[in-house]
Structure 1
Amino acid sequence: MASYTIETRERADGTVRYRCTVRLGGGKNITHRESRSFMKKKLAAQWGKKRTAELEEKGVSQGIHQVGMLPSIGDLIRLYEDDDSLGGQSGRTKRYVLKMLADSDIAKVATNKLMEKHLVQHCKDRIEAGASPATIHHDIAYLRSVLKVAHPVFGIPVDDKVIATALPTLQRLNLIGKSQRRSRRPTHEEIDLILEGLKQRESHRGNKIPFCDILNFSILTCMRIGEICRIRWEDVNHQKRTILVRDRKDPRKKTGNHMYVPLLGDSWKILQKQPRQDSRIFPFNEKSVTAGFQRVRNKIGIEDLRYHDLRREGASRLFEMGFTVEEVAQVTGHRDINILWKVYTELNPADLHKKYNAFET
């Protein structure tokens, strides 16, 4: 006898998913079990009813794992996304890329039929669609992470080494590549213009976001906008003027990267003036904050400036004030000091003349 159950699960990003588990048999005699997650409970119930009916009528042979009908790459990606310990822990960028891959032509290839030519064609299609080699590199990297867990987690046979074999070819054909390192810093005039535009935006009826405070706080603390919108009042140490930033970005570790950050200069004053109406200090959606910044930037006509560039601006200011690389890393949270060295060495060479002349006098 087949049956199904639905359980509600909250993912790491705060979204709610409904996981439907279908079973064949009962008690200790369960002979088959499979599950899928859905954004709506109604869809989970519909799938559960459909699968139980199929299992009752035709048995397990209707599942995607039957011999001779191995799942496609798209099926595998969806299994990965539905697993709370895998897709449920993915960041926003990875979730977006996997969703795109699941809808692309390569998703139609069976897991046991994936070859280098499929990867090459996917990359060529993406190039023709306007994607950069650096962007396509993310496609390949995230697809590789899915293939690696196919057999140990889902029992699906797949050659996860096919990507390692294809990488030299993809690089030689310039289909994938590393992103160009940015060195853009806003000028003082640009920041003044943006702050003036954000001040006008704050005066709009219904606006609740303190855009100016958040922008200045971003520069002074070198925090990412996502981190700023997550920090909580309970994590403020008033005696030491520090704040605990939870789950800071680290490519080697997705969670648990908590770090105390000093609130230097006016960042402490900005924090203290915020109303305590929520457990979070800045209880706003990061997308709304960056959208407001982008609209003001575009209206002014400032080109090639991203909100994340403010983080580099903050680090550069600390270097110009005489802080060491190790000290700046305590603010920015960089685990790889070499990244900060690149920021440090990109500072205006003219400053070296000023230091040398000051030393001689």
Structure 2
Amino acid sequence: MASITKTKGRWQVRVRLKGHKLRCQTFDARRDAVAWAQETETALRKRSPAAEDARRLATKLTLRGVLQRYENEVTPSKRSAERERYMMRNLRAEPELVDKPIGDILASDISAWLSRRRQSVAEGTALREWCLLQHVFEVARRDWGVAVDNPLKEARRPRAASARERRLEPGEEDLLLEACGKARVSWLTPLVCLAIDTAMRQGELLSLTWADASADGKYVTLAGQLTKTAKARTVPLSPRNRRMLGALRPKNASSSDRIFPLTRNAVRLAWTRARERAGMPDLRFHDLRHEATSRFFEMGLDTMEVAAITGHETLQMLKRYAHLRTKTIAEKLKWPAERAL
């Protein structure tokens, strides 16, 4: 700490810092004394043992090692842990970036990596990986004592992907369900029907247990720890949902058993084959959430009612998922009677 005292019309500065010798200096003006004290304290702290260790870590640790520690310590606590591990694998496949000491990585290295990624992935995927890298650097700097500047703060951020507007065209739902019915597994059709009718996310569907279904089968309850927003919600089921779940439930099923005891990879493979058979290779599973949300509005539900079912917390996000057909809107319009010209 610095102490500044006035002696015989001059200002005397003493800077004491643990691990360093006492520094003294005298000035005619107090502002000069304050400036010297601040500069001296900053310089001494930079030469402290802790700062030296932090600098050594930055030159010793590679980004690959930091990514592995992040995956071991930070990723498991996230709801998106499985997806994040997949992104980690993609990042580790970039030796030009991840094998460099973390303290040597510059904004230009990030830009070069981003340029390579854009050649093989969509802009949205590059943005998610960019955001993950940014958080990795921040955790290393703030929590792990690595003396490193975050190069992603200087690198150009990828643009957010445009909202998709893919909906099921007339006749496509029948084609899709017919293709699902030809799958070797019995769970694909009810899974897809639930997605179309409820707007539940794939992760939410896969987390459902038989205890989450109401006794009368009219709705399911999603616990807060299973939803993206960490808030519980109740989702009504259509008659076909109730019928399919009733047929799907084993006689000896326990209340704690998952309704769809599947991995995301199993769903991905079955879904990919089904959409190819249906002739809809551009259809994503998440598009079914857009379809369901849009249908709720077309059924006449208001914004609050739709949000209660889908779990959207803001009107802006809800608008991204609602793609209303102009024909449906036109049928609701009641024009005044034409006047004679």
Question: Deviations along 1:237-290, whole A, 9 cap, x unmatched?
Answer: 33693322133443xx6xx43322233443233333322335112223343234
One-letter amino acid matched to 2:169 = T
Q: Which secondary structure state, in structure 2, belongs to the residue aligned with residue 266 of structure 1? A: helix
Residues 1:99 and 1:289: Cα distance change in structure 2 (over 3 Å): closer
CA distance in 2, matches of 1:139, 1:228: 25
Matched, 1:212 2:189: yes
**TM-score with structure 1 setting the length:** 0.69
Matched AA of 2:298: E
Deviations 1:183-223 (A, max 9, x none): 1111231111121222222xx4xx4x332222212111111
Instruction: Tell me the residue number matched to 1:178.
Output: 160
Distance 2:334 2:246 in 1: 40
* Contact residue 196 and residue 292 of structure 2 kept, 8 A: yes
Q: Which amino acid aligns with 1:349?
A: T
Determine if contact 1:219/1:310 at 8 Å carries over to the other structure.
yes
Match for residue 310 of structure 1?
A: 288
1:320 aligns to 2:298 (yes or no): yes
Distance 2:234 2:143 in 1: 36
Q: Give the Cα–Cα distance (whole angstroms) in 2 for the partners of residues 131 and 71 of structure 1.
A: 28
The letter of the residue matching 2:306 is V
Using the aligned pairs only, state the percent identity.
24
Distance 1:137 1:342 in 2: 18
Secondary structure at the counterpart of residue 155 of structure 1: coil
Is the 2:218–2:237 contact (alpha carbons within 8 Å) kept by the matching residues of 1?
yes
Flag the structure with more relative contact order, 1 or 2, with Cα contacts below 8 A and sequence separation at least 6.
2
- Is the 2:204–2:226 Cα contact (8 Å) retained in structure 1? yes
Contact 1:248 1:259 in 2 (8 A): no
Report the equivalent of 1:12.
Answer: none
Pairing 1:80-159 to 2, within 5 Å after superposition: 80-83=70-73, 86-90=74-78, 91=80, 92-104=82-94, 105-127=96-118, 129-159=119-149
AA aligned to 2:208 is I
SS at match of 1:96: helix
Measure, in 1, the Cα distance between the counterparts of 2:121 and 2:263.
28
SS at match of 1:347: coil
Shift in CA distance, 76/360, structure 1 to aligned 2, threshold 3 Å: farther
Which residue identity lines up with residue 117 of structure 1 in the other structure?
A: S
**What is residue 165 of structure 1 aligned with on the other side?**
154
**Are 1:226 and 2:190 matched, yes or no?**
no
2-side partners of 1:242 and 1:351: how far apart? 27
Q: Assess, with a 3 A threshold, how the Cα gap between structure 1 residues 290 and 191 changes in structure 2: closer, same or farther.
A: farther
Aligned letter for 1:184?
Answer: R
- Whichever of the two has the greater Rg, that structure is 2
The residue aligned with 2:310 is 332
Calculate the TM-score normalised by the size of structure 2.
0.73
CA contact (8 A) 1:326 1:337 kept: no
Q: Indicate how the Cα distance of structure 1 residues 156 and 302 shifts in structure 2: closer, same or farther if over 3 A, else same.
A: same
What whole-Å deviation, never above 9, does each CA across 1:29-54 have from its counterpart, x for those lacking one?
xxxxxxxxxxxxxxxxxxxxxxxxxx
Matching residue's letter, 2:171: E
Count residues in correspondence: 278
1:269 matched residue in structure 2? 243
Unaligned stretches of 5+ residues in structure 1: 1-62
For 2:104 and 2:272, the matched residues in 1 are separated by 44
The alpha-carbon distance between structure 1 residues 141 and 67, as it changes in their structure 2 partners (threshold 3 A), is closer
Give how far 1:67 is off: 6.2
Q: How far apart, CA to CA, are the structure 2 residues paired with 1:343 and 1:81?
A: 31
What is the CA deviation profile of residues 107-158 of structure 1, one whole-angstrom value per residue up to 9, with x for unaligned ones? 122222221111111112223x423333222222100111111133322221
**C-alpha RMSD over aligned residues:** 2.8
Aligned in 2, Cα 1:146/1:339: closer, same or farther, shift over 3 Å?
A: same
Unaligned runs of 5+ in 2: 1-52
Asked if 1:298 corresponds to 2:289, the answer is no
Aligned twin of 1:36: none
Q: Is the 8 A contact 1:65 1:71 kept in 2?
A: no
SS of corresponding position for 2:220: strand
